[in-house]
Chain A
Amino acid sequence: MTNHVETSSMTPDDQPLDQKPVRRQPSSQHQDATTGDGGSGKSFGKLAARLGLYVAVIAVCIYSFFPIYWMMISSLRPMDRLFLDSSLVFWPPDLASYTSLFQQTNYLVNFMNSVLMAVGTIVISLVLSAFIAYGATRLHFRGKTTLVASMLFAYMFPPLMLAIPMAAAFRWLGLTNSLWGLLIAHLAIALPLAVWLLWGFFKSMPFDLEEAAMVDGCSQFEAFIKVVLPLSAPGLITVGIFSFLLSWADYVFALILIMSDQKKTLPVALASLLGAHDLRWGEVLAGASLIALPLFVIFIFCYRHFVAGLSAGALKG
C-alpha cells in the first residue's frame, strides 16, 4: 500500500497533507544510512527487519485464510472426490454442491431471512443510534458518560447468557419463533456498539458547524440532518458494517429464538444440515462459502472506511 503512494506522482492539489509523512520516509532513511558510522550494517539490519515483518504477515495471512480457502475450494470440488482429493488448485470447478444445496434445502428462504435480519438491523440501528448518540453529545445531563459506557455492559456476557432470558421474555411477549423477535435481539447487540461509535464521532465534531447552520436558517434537527450527518459518513458506514456483521454472523440468538425451518437464518440452517442423518459436506461447504461471500465484498469495498471510522470513534471516544 505505502509503496504505491510513495511512487505515484500526485499533484499537491489532489492529495493535500496526508501525503507528506509518507513522502518523508525514504529521505529520512537515506539520512540514517549516510550519517551513521556503521552505515551498511544498519541498512542491512533494517532490510532484515523488514523481511521478517513480511514473513510474519504472510504467515498470519496463510494461517487465518487457509481454512476459508479450503472451504471455498472444497465447495467447488466434485462431490464424489471430496474426501479423496486434497489438491489446492484444480480445474474445472464443479458446481454440483451448489445446485444440490439449492434443490434439496431451503437455502433461498433462509438466505432471505438472513438478508431481512441484516437489512433491518442495519437500518434501524443506524437511525436509532444516530439520534441517541447525537442527543447524548448535545444534551447536558449528569452521568452521561457513565450511561453511554454502561450500554456496553451487555458485551461482557457471552451471547448465550443474553439469549436465554431473551427467549423467556419473548415467549411472554408472544414473539417466540418470530423473525421480529430475532430482529429485536440483533438490535439489542448492535445498538450499544453503534451508539458508542457514533457518540465518539459526534463528540469530535465542533458545535460551530451546527450553530452556523442554525444561524443560516436550519432548526437544530435540520442542522443535524444537513450538516452533521453528511460529515459523519465514515462513522455511519462503520456502524452499518458492524450491524451487518453482528446480524449476518449471528448463530446463538437465531438458534435459541427460532424453531421452524422456514424462519431459520443461514448459519442455523446450515448447521442443521450437519445434524441430519447423512453428513452432506459438499452442501455445507457451499452454503458456508455463500455466507462468507458478502463479508469479502464488504471487506474489499469498505475496509478503508471501516478502519477510518473505527479509529476516529476509538481515539476521540
Chain B
Amino acid sequence: MARISLQHVSKSFGGGHGPSAVKDFCLEIEDGELIVFVGPSGCGKSTTLRMIAGLEEATSGAILIGGRNVTHLPPKDRNVAMVFQNYALYPQKTVYDNMAFGLYVRGEDRKEIDRRVKAAAVSLDLEALLDRKPRQLSGGQMQRVALGRALVRDPDVFLLDEPLSNLDAKLRVKMREEIATLHARLGATMIFVTHDQVEAMTLGDRIVIMRDGVIQQAGKPLELYDRPANTFVAGFIGSPEMNLVNGQLVEDGERLAVRSGDLTLRIPENTFATQEKNVTLGIRPEHLVIADGSPLEMSVSLVEQIGAQTYLLGMIAGHKMRAVFERRDEIRSGDKVPIAFPTERLHLFSSAGGATLRKTEGRVAVHAKECA
C-alpha cells in the first residue's frame, strides 16, 4: 500500500510532438484511498492510468509510488496491478494459472502461491472455476478472475480501467459493491477509471474529473456535487444535468440578481465574487421546488415517471429547464406548475471560461491546484 504522487505529468503521443493527451496532471493520492478518474471519452483517463502502470512513458513530469520515483521504471518494477477493460486474461491458461502467473514470474514459493491463489478464489467465489479456461467463463466470472489476478499479487496500487463497462447493468451494480467491499477490506490504494458518474459517486473516496487531458476538479463526491468548480463539472456530475442559464448580474433593489430575459433571480449575499457582469446561473433539477403562489411557472412539455421521482421538462420564463420532484402523479404534459428557485441552492459561474464565482469560504480550494 502506498501514496501516489503525480507531479506535472504530461503525455503527448507521436514521439512527444503530437497533441497532448494529458496536460500538467497534478494529484496526491493518499495511502488506501480509492480515487476515481471520470470524464468523457478521450479525455485521457486511460493514458494517465497507463502512465502510472508504466505502460506509457510520461513525456514530462514525475510519478512517485510510495515515495519512490518510478517515472522511468518498466511496469514490472512498479509493483502495481492492473485490471483491463476487456480483462486480458491469458486464454491458454486456466483460471488458476491466470491468477498464479504474476507470482510465478516473481519467483514466489509454490506453496505460498497456492495459498494466495486459493484465498483469492475463496474471496471472489471462484473456487469451482479454477480449472476452467477463460473462454469457458461468463463476463462476470472473467471480471472476477481479472480482479483475482490483481488481488493475489498484493501490489502497492490497484489500477482498474473501466473494469465494469462490459457487464450488464445488474452485474455492474453487484461488481461495484464487491469492489467497494474489497477496497474496504484490503485498505489498498486504488485508482478506478470510469465514464459512469454513478460509479464515480458511489465508489470514490475522491473523484478526479478530466476533460481534454486536464483535471477539471478533484474532490470528494459531495464536494463536486455541492461546489462544482466550473460549468463542465456542474453538468457532468448529477443526473439529470444541472440547468444552466446565461445572464447578466444586475442590481435588484438592495440585492444582486441575475437577469436573463424574463427571468430575474436574486443570488445569496457574500457567496459569490461579483466583479464580472456576464455570468452563468446554475440550479440542479432536484433543487427546484413546487411553490404555490410563486410568480414563476413551468409549462411542462414532458413528464417522465421513474417510480420514486417525477422528471419534468419544460419552459420557465422562456428558458428550457428540467425539474425533479418526489413522485407527483397528477402532473400532465401541458400543465403549468408554479416553481421557486431556493436562493441558497444557486450556482454562479463566469460566462467566460465557466469557472465558478463561489468564494472559497476560507477552506482549501476545491480546485485541482494541488501542486505548489
Interface residues of A (CB under 8 A from B): 13, 16, 206, 208-209, 211-220, 222, 226-227, 230-231
Inter-chain contacts of B92 with A (CB < 8 A): 230-231
Interface on chain A toward B: helix, strand, loop, or mixed SS? helix
**With contact pairs A212-B82, A214-B75 given, residues A227 and B90 touching in the complex (Cβ less than 8 Å):** yes
Size bin of chain B's contact surface: 20 to 34
A218 touches B76 (CB 8 A): yes
**With contact pairs A13-B136, A16-B136, A208-B84 given, residues A218 and B105 touching in the complex (Cβ less than 8 Å):** yes
Chain B min CB distance to A224 (Å): 13
Partner of A208, one of B81, B88, B106, B135: B88
B88 touches A211 (CB 8 A): yes
List 12 additional A-B contacts (Cβ < 8 Å) besides A215-B102, A216-B149, A222-B105. Answer: A16-B136, A208-B84, A211-B53, A211-B88, A213-B90, A214-B54, A215-B75, A215-B80, A216-B101, A218-B76, A230-B92, A231-B92
- A217 to B53, alpha carbons, bound, how many Å? 11
Partner of A211, one of B84, B89, B91: B84
- A131 to B80, alpha carbons, bound, how many Å? 28
Chain B 101-119 interface residues, beta-carbon cutoff 8 Å to A: 101-102, 105-106
Cβ of B310 under 8 Å from chain A: no
17 contacts between A and B (CB under 8 A): A16-B135, A206-B86, A206-B88, A208-B84, A209-B88, A211-B88, A212-B89, A212-B149, A213-B90, A213-B105, A214-B54, A214-B75, A215-B53, A215-B54, A216-B101, A222-B105, A227-B90
- A230 to B91, alpha carbons, bound, how many Å? 10
A209 touches B76 (CB 8 A): no
Inter-chain contacts of B90 with A (CB < 8 A): 209, 212-213, 227
A231 touches B135 (CB 8 A): no
- A181 to B74, alpha carbons, bound, how many Å? 42
Best-surrounded residue of A216, A219, A226, A230 (most CB of chain B within 10 A): A216
Chain A min CB distance to B139 (Å): 15
Chain B min CB distance to A285 (Å): 45
- A292 to B181, alpha carbons, bound, how many Å? 65
- A220 to B149, alpha carbons, bound, how many Å? 19
- A242 to B315, alpha carbons, bound, how many Å? 73
Cβ of B173 under 8 Å from chain A: no
**With contact pairs A213-B101, A214-B55, A216-B149 given, residues A231 and B84 touching in the complex (Cβ less than 8 Å):** no
- A298 to B135, alpha carbons, bound, how many Å? 30
> In the complex, which residue of chain B has the Cβ closest to the Cβ of A212?
B88
A212 touches B84 (CB 8 A): yes
Cβ of B153 under 8 Å from chain A: yes
Partner of B106, one of A13, A214, A217, A231: A217
